[in-house]
Amino acid sequence: MLKIQDLQCQVETQDGEDKPILKGLSLEVPAGEVHAVMGPNGSGKSTLSYVLTGRDGYEVTGGSMAFAGEDLAELAPEARAALGLYLSFQYPVEIPGVPTITFLKEALNAQRVTRGEEEVTAPEFMKLIREKAKQLNVSMDMLKRAVNVGFSGGEKKRLEILQALVLQPKFLILDETDSGLDIDALKIVSDGVNALRAPDRGMLVITHYQRLLDHITPDVVHVMADGRIVKSGGPELARELEAEGYDKYLGEAA
- Binding-site ranges for another protein (CB under 8 A): 53-56, 76-78, 80-82, 86-87, 89, 92-98, 103-104, 106-108, 110-111, 114, 146, 163, 167
**Between helices 183-195 and 153-167, what is the axis angle to 10°?**
10
- Closest CB 16 distance from another protein, rounded Å: 17
Q: For strands 18-29 and 146-147, give the pairing.
A: unpaired
- Cβ proximity to another protein, 106 vs 252, nearer residue: 106
- Cβ proximity to another protein, 62 vs 180, nearer residue: 180
- Closest CB 243 distance from another protein, rounded Å: 35
CA distances from 198 to 75, 102, 168, 227, 251 (A): 25, 28, 11, 29, 37
How far the first Cα of the chain sits from its last, in Å, is 30
- Cβ proximity to another protein, 40 vs 54, nearer residue: 54
The CA-based angle 108-109-114, given to 5 degrees, is 105
- Closest CB 245 distance from another protein, rounded Å: 32
Q: What CA–CA distance (Å, rounded) separates 210 from 160?
A: 20
H/E segment holding residue 79: helix 77-83
- Cβ proximity to another protein, 102 vs 121, nearer residue: 102
- Closest CB 111 distance from another protein, rounded Å: 4
- Closest CB 96 distance from another protein, rounded Å: 6
- Cβ proximity to another protein, 171 vs 246, nearer residue: 171
